[in-house]
Amino acid sequence: MKFVIATLNPDKLREMVALLPSDLGTFVGLRDFEGAAAPPETGATLTDNALLKAAAALAFTGLPAIADDTGLEVDALGGAPGVWSARYAGEGAGYAANVRKLLREMAAIEPARRTARFRTVCVACFPDRDPIVAEGVLEGRITEVLRGTEGFGYDPVFEVAGTTRTLAELPFAEKNRLSHRAAAVANLARMLRG
């Protein structure tokens, strides 16, 4: 089966293709389709946004579509930025602006209260059956400064629970073994096979 990965983000596409088992089919990116555009992420939850993206990609390409939405949930900020993680510093803000805003808001928070988690919801939409929804979570804490050069987004300030390294300090293959996205994709793959 051929799937379209419903993202225009090359970093996310690279991770998704690396994580998806080849026995499920072949995978192409949304950028491979001329005129493709990402729908507005207007959902109230990560699941809503993942469904919006997958349904739009299915409608545009006619192919079964896989999409995800990820949020960083910081306990000291009441779960923020959450569903707004990609737009935390405002619409069109990039990775650096989002991270700067997070570190500013966390500046006075002591180490014991810097707990956080990444949550990913991964959805597969098909032309002829109900969507499949899976989730993955990775626990950790927010660091005081950026550390590491791998990964993207909040990875340089997210120290993985049980380690002393941020996601940006982990090699790509190691990150993909333990990440929130890896867990969500593995759960989705199990459901697709079942």
C-alpha distances out from residue 91 to 8, 40, 52, 117, Å: 16, 11, 18, 23
186: tokens are 């593995």
d(CA 18, CA 59): 25
Catalytic residue among 48, 68, 69, 130: 69
Q: Please confirm, yes or no, whether 69 is among the known catalytic residues.
A: yes
> From the centroid of its chain, how far is CA 157?
15
Show the DSSP H helices in the chain as ranges: 10-19, 46-61, 95-106, 172-178, 180-193
β-strands 2-5, 65-74: how paired? parallel
- Label residue 160 exposed, middle or buried (CB < 10 Å: 0-12, 13-18, 19+): buried
Peptide bond before residue 10 is cis, with ω within 30 degrees of 0: no
Would you name the residues annotated as active-site residues?
Answer: 69
